[in-house]
Structure 1
Amino acid sequence: MSTEIRPAASPDEPQAPCPPTCASVLVADDDEASRYMLERALGSLGQRIVLVETGEEALELAAQQDFAAIVLDIGLPGASGFEVARALKRQERSQHTPLLFVTGQQYTEALVTQAYATGASDLLTKPFNPDVLNTKLRVFVDLYLQRQHLEAQRRELLARTRALEESRHSLSESRESLGRTSAEHARLHALFSQAPLAIAILRGPRLMIELANPLACRIWGRPLEELLGRSFLEAPPSPDAAVAIPILQRVFDTGIAYVGKELPLRLVRYEEGAPEDTYFSLVYEPMRDGEGRVEGIIAVASEVTDGVRARRRAESVQAELEAIFESIPDAAYVGDLSGIKRANRKALDMLGYSDMEDLNVHISELASRVRVRQADTGELVPPEHTGFVRALAGESEARDYLVYNAALARDVRVRSAANPVRIGGKVAAAVVVNTDITERHAVEESLRRSEEELRTLADSIPQAVWTTSADGALTYANSAMVHYTGLRLEELLGTGFLRMISPDTREQATGLMARYLGEGEPYECEMCWLRLDGAMRWHLVRVVPLKSSSGMVMRWLGTATDVHDLRQSQSETQRRADFEQQLIGIVSHDLRNPLSAILLGVTALARREGLDDRSRKSLLRIQSSAERAVRMIRDLLDFTQARLGGGIPLKRQRADLHLVTRSVLEEVEATNPGREVVTRYSGDGQGEWDADRIAQVIQNLVTNALKYSPPDTQVRVEAVGEDGGVTLSVHNLGEPIPSERGGSLFEPLQRATADVDQAGRSVGLGLYIVDQIVRAHGGSVSMRSSASEGTSFIVKLPRATDSSSR
């Protein structure tokens, strides 16, 4: 089936008959939308356009009439465009007709090579730029019309020449004929000079320049008088034009015309004098005499520089569009019912194909290959209901599908957006962009299942659990929280949960939440919540942010544990402990005054003369008991100060540990006659200490060493000055301290053994006081005890703490 389109002013108006000089262009394309685009693009040529659907029709028409150019779709049904092209080149009438291929396939080097191998003049890919197509075909049409015109002129000149020769015998007839010939020659010369093409006549085997019109002179860059009578072999238009010499000689020798397209020539215009790059399409037509012998060449040149530049600009734009198309991060493809005409690499990979030919099949076959199915139900989607076909019908669609990847042999979940491509108000193609959301969907499904599991778990625990948005609005609350407050979930969502916070603490709680929301950090606090029965109960609230990989807070997760009973129990326990410690402090403080009076009285009575031994012993026992009670009271006061006052206070001053130790040992030896205390001093004993408290440490340690060691053994005391501090060690050979008591030895109300001091002479605060005094000085105390080496208490004291040194 063929359709003839005659030139018209507008594609939408009735076509007028084509004049005799009109050229014909044959278009073979089986796709209706593509034919429509070609018809619109070629409408401005003003020539006769013949449209056919098959290659067979094209071959038949090309054998019957001449065409200025033939446009072939590569993907014709039956015989392909390449096969039709080869057949056209074998036909005598169409063997020199320029061929232009159009295709919806992807532009590749292999495709271009195959096109040119079949004799194509050029190749355009769909969708093409109409201006580029018009430029290319206009050159072919102009060359065709010029050749026709020149051939008509040549025939007319030959006819005139014969007529002149036949009338040579009659003078009157000759004069009359000569007049007519001169007039005709003048007319032909005017046409020759005004022709829009560069025309030159080269005569004889030497290709002598017999005639050249003004445009030809411009190409030579010389005036006509410098060209006439010269050989083309000696005066080519430019050094580049020398390549034409063997071609011209071959035309002259063989009589076969030559057609060259878009040949580059660097010319020097004789008007301007500056070299410039230009492009020409050339026709070298053999000129024959009356007997058919070649006597010269008619050279016709048409400058196509503007067309070449326009085509290159269009090709550059096309290349940019191709690059943009390939750089789209999603799968994109364009086509019609006959198949996919263009697809980027992402689209091929998504469907598991490596070549565009696999996709350039009818859409019904392609749909069966990729097995388009509904994303949610898995139901097969008929081809006519796919987004691609709907777009060809003029509808836009965005939907999720499952498509089959042939390379991976598995389904791919895609988010598909399909839209129609309209040209001149008609839908010419459909464009589809598919985004692979397989992994995203799997992650979303996994998150959804995880969230359901977490919510099930959250509903099964007694603690209150909730989530909020990034700005702190409640989005979820577990059943424990709902039951606790008696509010419906809808009432808690958003900021409704603030109603469950006690009015007395609500402002403080909201301020705290706002601060931590701004910082994006986890926090923990106690809040008083209003229970369903109206009771106010304290809860320990922990809130942590759930952040994205970039560190942005997405949600908040909170838990609340009822700590009201625990808080009350701790408060009661603390109150009792504080009361006990205060009681100890008060009692020990109030006992100190009567004990001081007893000691003063006993001391006065012991100084009297005339006391018998029995009375003196009684007084000494009273004095010893009172002194022990004073020491116990002092330990109790220190204990109370350490617990309630935050540590034992110190009065630091410059002191010598060696002198302090000697002074303490003198007092101890006086109260413990018969016991041997061995001492050793070395190094510098100077430091910033509270001398009275250090003396208390030494006295407690030495007294314990004497108390817990056999009377016939020595107690060894060493004070050693070292770099940065001093070390005091007190050693005895008493029973070793059990290892299980070592960890609690320096705790209050603890003693080394359970069978010592049954008389209650100690409350077990001595070593605790020692540890607190040493810690207050920035030092440490430790103990070593074994059956073979005895027991040693080692005190390490810095010469000065940071605060004292400043």
Structure 2
Amino acid sequence: MMQQLTVLIVDNHSEDCQRYESYLRQNSECRYRILSESTGNAGLDLYQTLQPDIILLEYVLPDMDGLEFLAKLKQKQKQHQETPPVIIITGYGNENIAVRAIKSGCQDYLVKQHLTSELLNSSVNSAILDSEEVKKHWSCGDESFRTSVEDRFPDGSVREIIGTVVDITNFKQTQEELRLSNERFQLASRAVDSVIYDWDITVNSIIRTEGITYILGYSLEEIEPTIEWWMRLVHPEDKNNLFQPLQAILANGEYYTFEYRVRHKNGEYRYVLDRGSVVRNPESLAVRVVGSITDISKRKQAEIALGESEAKYKRIIESNIVGIYFGDFTGRIHEANDSFLQTFGYSREELENGCLYWNRMTPAEYSQLDEQKMRELQAGGACKPFEKEYFHKDGTRIPILLAIATVEAKGSEGYSVCLVLDISQRKQAQLELRESEQRYRLLSESIPQIVWSCNPQGECEYISQRWVEYTGKAIEEAINFGWLTVLHPEDAESVTHIWQRSLRRGELYSSEMRYRRSDGIYRWFLVRALPIKNEQGEIIKWFGTSTDIHERKQLEAITNELLMREQTARTEAETANKAKDEFVAMVSHDLRSPLNSILGWAKLLRTRNFDESATTRALETIERNAKSQAKLLEDLLDTSRILQGTIQLDIARINIVKAVEAAIETAHPVADVKSIYIESIIDDSLPLIQGDSNRLQQVLGNLLSNAIKFTPKEGRVRVELSVGNMGRGGEGEMGRQGEEERLIFSTSAVFNSSRYARITISDTGIGISPDFLPYVFERYRQAEGIRKKGGLGLGLAISRHIVELHEGSIEVFSGGEGKGSVFTIKLPM
């Protein structure tokens, strides 16, 4: 059957494409499927789609040349895909281009001027011949094969074509062998986990560096085939140690081994073992070095870590902080540091002479303990630290803390490292501490105070027997914060706050509090505590005492009460003196004013002649001022009698209605002057009562006089007389019902009768301020602004005393300044 092949012609000259197609059609031995494209890129795309058997390529194309086409053709090759034969046809007979084309994979290179049908067909046929088959038959002298080939190529160029094919085949075979050799070389380098190199010293070129990607991370494209590139990777500290010995070996030696550090692609340095041999060619004087480089980083790191560990171990032993020796189950001590020897009084010569045995240094009573620890050592390779004793060379005993661990290399023989800590001072300190605590407990039980101690967190750990004797509770009930149960509830919050503050600041604690005694009585205690600190200033314990100070607190209370009384008496005396001074000044003023008026008018009457009207006015003025002075003097006398308790009442059965009406009648002239209306509501049915008519009129006169004096012009004054009943809840209705709530102040009289006569005098005057209301009935007290109205401030005080002498009471109500006042007198019937 005639063979059919697909030929792709890539040429932008259509006439040449037609001529090539015509040449190919003349070949009767093969049938062709002809494809054509005018640009390189189009030809490459068509190649990927149809996969032709052979390509005829014009060297000069519109978008690329033949070499670029060959390069892109290789890039488009799929894995394990063979590149089709490519024949370049060009109008330029340039030998350099032909060589470059052949090296790039071109199968043949034809010039258009010499191209004939026979030449093109022969080139195509030779390109598609099985090169292995040609080589086999041609080289073995198969004449029939030669004849058949020569018949196929009558142009006489058969030998040349077949020779070219054979040469190409040999070249490919060499390449394949080289590829297989490289693969075996790479597999060998990976198998030994090494870089295998071949270094031609004569031309300073590294021929091979297999395995470098696996070991150091560099790809073959990143490698420079020079020794200088490799030396740049060597650690700076290792270059001098590597370069000079290497020069000497290259000059005289044959084998070498080095260890140094090389920089990995990631920047880290790796330790490598570099081993190789020098090969010299006597004839060509060429020198080559073949060797391998192995990554030994893990081994070196382990060696460094081991060295550091051994160095630390050695420093620990030589530091002589604790005694260290190496011994075995036989009891012999093989090695020991100076601290151990000095502690027990032995010399190094005695150690080296084998005179030291740990079992001979151990007192007999510890033999059972030693056997137990040796079993523990055999089972686990180490034993928990334990206390025992060793004999000193002089025979004295030294208490020690011993820790033992086997050395792995000789563990089966019981060879162990033993750490010996002399605890003589600690034992002595523990003994002294126990003695100190015993003295402390004896002292705490012998003193009258309650002695206690706390941990750094403030929790009670110890309390003396005095606690049990006082509280009747067990000591266990006071531990931690149980002592709070006997604390007075009122003291708990303040005591806890002060205690927590002392704990935070680490400062002296001092506080006074009350403890409940076993009989339930609370007594005062002074509680003080001091922090006990270590050398670092840290609190390790609190030591405290609780001292009974109840008698002292009582004495302080009495002293404070006396002091307060003394201060109160002094204040009252100072107030009285001040009031006296004010009273004297006020009396002097109030007596002098009317006296000046009297004297003035008397002088005028004596020196001048007045008409009857003027004389009458002068006499009235003198009379009025004289009465005012008489009233002031009478008030002073009454006040003096009240203070001395000598004021007397002329008690008789009186008509209270007439007494009220007489007081109103007396007040009318003064009220008329200010156009003040006096309203009276009097219950005529009231029976006679026991009382002093004159004194009651004096009281009513004071109240009405004040009401008129402090009520503005055209104001109102109301007087009401009625019967009141205790227990009905109705007293004080006058002036309060239907109005806003008023301020009230009352005297503290006690009624023996359920019925009483009630006299109420209310006004629309200036009222009384809330601040002054409690002092209305006190002597010499006058509100601001009232003093300008005149008077000594004695009238209401005298009135209150007279009412109370009648076993009655007097009250005052006021809604505040500017809201008037209501005075109510209650007299028992």
- TM-score greater than 0.5 by the shorter chain: no
TM tier, shorter chain?
A: 0.3 to 0.5
With the length of structure 2 as denominator, give the TM-score of the two structures: 0.33
